[in-house]
Amino acid sequence: MLEQQLINALSLGSVYALFALGFTLVFGVLGVINLSHGAIFMLGSYVALLLVNHFAMSLWLALLLAMLTTGLVGLLVDFLVLKPLRARNAPHLTPMIATIGVAIILTSVAQGLFGAENKRFPFGTIPEGSFTLGNLHVTAVQLGIVLISFLLMIVLLLVMRRTQLGRALRAIAESPKAASLLGINVEGLFLLTSFAAAALGGAAGVLVGLSFNAISPFMGQPMLHKGIAVIILGGMGDIRGALIGGLFLGFAEVMSVAYLSSDFRDAVAFGLLFLILLVRPSGMFGKILERKA
Amino acid sequence: MQRTRMFQKLSLAMLGFGLAAGAAAADIKLGAAEALTGPAAKYGIAIKNGFTLAADEINAKGGVNGNKLALVAEDEQGKKEEAINVFKKLIFQDKVLLVFGPTLSNSAFAADPIANAAKTVVFGTSNTADGVSAIGPFVFRNSVMEADVLPVTTRAAVKQFGIKKVAIVYGNDDAFTKNGYDVFKSALESQKIAVTNTETYAKGDVDFKAQLTKIKAANPDAIVCSCLAEEAANIIVQTRSLGMKQPFIGGNGFNSPKLFEIAKDAADNTVMGSPWSAENQAPANKSFIAAYKAKFNAEPDQFAAQAYDAMYIVADALKKVKLSGSLDKDRVALRDALPNVKHDGATGKFAFRRAKDKSGKDAGYDAQQDAIVNIAKGGKFVLLK
C-alpha cells in the first residue's frame, strides 16, 4: 500500500504546488498576499466547465482559454484594485484586505450564476484512462496534474532565471523604485505578473475540477488556506519553495492518514509546518525579510 | 319598500365585504429560515420550493379556514450566527406564527432555543441529528432521525450482500455526518458487524484517496459512509478509481440526484435509507412530484418533499386553531394543536412522537415514520425489496 500512498501524495502535493505557484509569484514580485487567488482558481474551473459543456470544446483548448480568462480577470483585479492602492502607497495590509473583498465578490457572482451545488465535467469529457500495475492505480488525470504542475513550474523558473524579463522581474522584487529608475516598466510588469499568476491559478482550478469532480463556488477557500501554508513553508515568493512546500504538505497529509489516523491529518501537517518554521522562520528557501522572485 | 330592501341587501353585502377584507388582512404569516445561499443552499432552496409549492396549493384551494398562508422566507446561509439573527427577525420583527427551519442540525442547536424561549413553534424539516427535539416543547420536526433510519438500512444491506465486516468513512466536523457515524457505529455493534477501520475527512476536502487506500488494504465487505451527497459521490468515484468494488451503505445525505450526477453508475449497489423516495407510487407522492416538476422545472428531492409535507401538517393543525388575534395565544394554540396531526403525504404516513430531553423530561416532537430502503441500480435509486 505504501506505493499507492506515495502516488496519492504526489498527486495531492502537485495540486497544492500548482495552486501555490501563482500565489507565490504575486507575492514575490508585487509584495502582495493576494487572497483572491482562491476565487480565481474557482473561476478557472467554471470557465473550462462552461466551454466544455456549451461549446463541446476539447479539454486542452478549454484549459488554455480558462487560463486566458482567469489571467484577464487577474489583470482586471490588479488594474482596478491593486494599482490604485499602489499609487496611493497603501500599507501592506490594505491590498490584502482588498483582495478578500474581491474574493467575496467573485464567489458570490459565481454562486449567482452557477448555483451553490457542486458541478462536474460531463461524463465522457474527462480522460477515464487509468494505469494498473499490480495493486497500483494511477488515473490519467492524476498523471496529467503531476506533469502539468512540473512543466509550468520549470517554464516559470526558466523565465525567471534565464530571460531578460525574469531579470527585470527580479529587479522589481528587490526594489520597485530602483527598477523603475533603471528604466524598467514597473507598472507594466506588475500587470503582466498579475496576469500570469491568475492564469496559473486558473490552470490549477481546471485540473482540480477534472480530478475531484467538485467544482463549486466555495472550492477556493480550503485551497487558499493550504496555499498560504505552502508558500510560508516554501519561503514567501520562492518558486522552488512553492513546489517543494506543496509536495511536502501533500506527503505530510497522506502519510499521517496512512500511518496514524485521518483524525490527525491536519494536526500533523500543520504541526510539522510549525516545527519547520521554528527552525527556519523564513521557510525552506526564504531569506528573512527579503522578497525573492 | 323596494328601496329599503335594496338598501338592506347593500348594507349586508358591504358588511360581508368588510368581513372578507378583515380576513384577508389576517394572512397567516409563517416564517422560513433556510440556507438560501452558501454551501447548504442546495438543501435550503429545495426546502423553500417545497414550502412555496404547498402554500400555493393550499391558498389556491381557499387557504386555511379562509385565511391565506403567507410565507416569509429568510436566508440563514447555513451558519449558526445567521440562523440566530434570522430567527430573531422572524419571531420579534415579522411576528410570524411559526418558524420553519433551519436547514442544518448544526444551526438548529444554536437557533431553536430562541424560538423555544419565545414560545413559538420551530418546525425543522431537515434536522436529523439527535437531540434537536430535546431543546424544548416548542421544537417540532418531520425529518426522520438517523437513529430510526440507519439501523434499518444496515440490516437490509447486510442481508443483501452477506456483509461480515465494513469500513467506515465520515466527516468529523459536521453535526449531521458525525451523528450519522455514531448511529451507524452502534447499529453495527448491535448487529455484530466488525469494523475494519474508521476514516475521517473535513468539510471541503476533495481528495479522499489516502483514506481509501488504507481501507483497500483492510479489504472490508462494504463501506459505510456518513457523508453529504457531493462528498459521498466523490468518495465513491475515487474508490472505484483505486480498483475497489465494495458496495456503499449511506444515510440521508446520499438521497440526492447529485449523487448520480457526479458518480453515475459507479454508485451502483449503494444501499440508502430515507424517508422519501421518488419511486414511491402513492398518489400523494406522484402528485407532489408532478406539481414540483411543473412549477420549478427540476427534480424534487427528499428535502423538498419533507418541506412540502411540513406545510400541509401545519395547515392541518391550523384548521383546528381558532385564531384570536393575540400572537402569543395563537402561537401556543398552534403548538397545542400540532401534536395531534396525522398526515399521509409525499413522504408517506406521518405522526409526531414525543421526544425526551437529557434528564428524561418531555421535550419537543420527532417524526414517527417508516424508512424506505433503496438500492442504486443503473444510476438511480430503486426500492430494495
pLDDT along chain A (293 residues), means of 10: 87 90 89 92 94 87 94 94 89 90 93 83 76 80 86 89 89 86 88 93 91 86 88 83 90 89 83 83 64 48
State the amino acid at position B333 in one-letter form. A
Full DSSP string of B201-260 = E-TT----HHHHHHHHHH--SEEEEE--HHHHHHHHHHHHHTT----EEE-GGG-SHHHH
Round to whole Å and give the CA distance between A55 and A278. Answer: 51
Q: Are B258 and A132 within 8 A, CB to CB?
A: no
Residues of A in contact with B211 (CB under 8 A): 257, 262
Spatial neighbors of A227 by CB under 8 A, at least 6 apart, are A16, A19, A20, A23, A37, A38
pLDDT score for B206 = 85
Interface confidence, given as ipTM, is 0.79
Q: Are B39 and A116 within 8 A, CB to CB?
A: yes
Question: Is pLDDT larger for residue A7 or for residue B12?
Answer: A7
What 8-state DSSP symbol labels residue B352?
E
Round to whole Å and give the CA distance between B58 and B311. Answer: 9
Partnered with residue B373 across adjacent β-strands are B273
Residues 141-180 on B with a CB inside 8 Å of A are 172
CB nearest to A130's CB, from B206, B241, B258: B241
Inter-chain CB pairs, A–B, below 8 Å: 95
CB nearest to A118's CB, from B37, B211, B262: B262
Measured in degrees and rounded to the nearest 5, phi and psi for residue B238 equal -70, -30
CA-based nearest residue in chain B for residue A261:
B199
State the amino acid at position B90 in one-letter form. L
State the amino acid at position B316 in one-letter form. D
- Name the pLDDT band for B17 (thresholds 50, 70, 90): very low
B25 touching A (Cβ < 8 Å)? no
pLDDT over threshold 60, residue B169? yes
pLDDT score for B328 = 93
Contact (CB, 8 A) for B373 and B272? yes
Q: Are B206 and A214 within 8 A, CB to CB?
A: yes
Q: B305 is written with which cell numbers?
A: 418533499
pLDDT over threshold 60, residue B103? yes
In the three-class reduction of DSSP (H, G, I as helix; E, B as strand; rest coil), residue B178 is classed as helix
pLDDT over threshold 80, residue B338? yes
Q: Is A66 left (phi over 0), alpha (psi -120 to 50) or beta?
A: alpha
- The mean per-residue pLDDT over the stretch B215-233 comes to 92
Least confident of A111-120, B12-21, B228-237: B12-21
Q: Are A117 and B42 within 8 A, CB to CB?
A: yes
Please, what sign has the CA dihedral across residues A81, A86, A88, A89? positive
Residues of A in contact with B241 (CB under 8 A): 130, 137, 139
- Name the pLDDT band for B20 (thresholds 50, 70, 90): very low
Helices and strands (H and E) in chain A: how many:
12, 2
Round to whole Å and give the CA distance between B38 and B111. Answer: 18
pLDDT score for B153 = 93
Spatial neighbors of B80 by CB under 8 A, at least 6 apart, are B106, B107, B109, B110, B111
Q: B274 is written with which cell numbers?
A: 430515507
pLDDT score for B3 = 53
Spell out the long-range contacts of A147-151 with Cβ–Cβ below 8 A and sequence spacing 24 or more. A148/A18, A148/A203, A148/A207, A149/A14, A149/A15, A149/A17, A149/A18, A149/A21, A149/A207, A149/A243, A149/A246, A150/A14, A150/A243
Residues of A in contact with B41 (CB under 8 A): 111, 115-117
pLDDT score for A272 = 82
Contact (CB, 8 A) for B67 and B26? yes
pLDDT over threshold 50, residue B23? no
Round to whole Å and give the CA distance between B355 and B365. Answer: 5
Round to whole Å and give the CA distance between B131 and B134. Answer: 5
User: CA-CA distances (angstroms) from residue B94 to A48, A239, B232, B334?
Assistant: 44, 55, 38, 17
Residues of A in contact with B206 (CB under 8 A): 208, 212, 214, 219
- Name the pLDDT band for B13 (thresholds 50, 70, 90): very low
Shortest Cα distance from B12 to chain A (angstroms)?
Answer: 52
Round to whole Å and give the CA distance between B210 and B169. Answer: 12
CB nearest to B209's CB, from A8, A116, A219: A8
The CA-based angle B141-B145-B147, given to 5 degrees, is 155
Round to whole Å and give the CA distance between B237 and B267. Answer: 8
**Residue B136 C-beta-side C-alpha neighbours within 13 Å:** 17
State the amino acid at position B311 in one-letter form. M
A2 touching B (Cβ < 8 Å)? no
CA-based nearest residue in chain B for residue A136:
B242
Q: Are B214 and A254 within 8 A, CB to CB?
A: no
The CA-based angle A181-A182-A188, given to 5 degrees, is 85
Residues 4-23 on B with a CB inside 8 Å of A are none
CB nearest to A8's CB, from B40, B205, B210: B210
- Name the pLDDT band for B12 (thresholds 50, 70, 90): very low
Spatial neighbors of B123 by CB under 8 A, at least 6 apart, are B98, B99, B100, B101, B140, B141, B142, B310, B314
Shortest Cα distance from A152 to chain B (angstroms)?
Answer: 22
CB nearest to A111's CB, from B37, B210, B243: B37
Round to whole Å and give the CA distance between B274 and A262. Answer: 28
User: CA-CA distances (angstroms) from residue B125 to B41, B47, B105?
Assistant: 14, 8, 10
Residues of A in contact with B266 (CB under 8 A): none
Spatial neighbors of A130 by CB under 8 A, at least 6 apart, are A137, A138, A139, A140, B241
Give the residue ranges of DSSP H helices in chain B.
2-25, 41-60, 80-88, 105-117, 146-161, 175-190, 209-218, 229-241, 257-263, 283-296, 302-319, 327-337
Burial class (CB in 10 A: 0-12, 13-18, 19+), B147: middle
Q: Are B41 and A219 within 8 A, CB to CB?
A: no
B75 touching A (Cβ < 8 Å)? no
B207 touching A (Cβ < 8 Å)? yes
Q: Are B199 and A257 within 8 A, CB to CB?
A: yes
CB nearest to A116's CB, from B38, B237, B241: B38
A232 touching B (Cβ < 8 Å)? no
pLDDT score for A287 = 58
Count of beta carbons in the 10 Å neighbourhood of residue B34: 32
A29 touching B (Cβ < 8 Å)? no
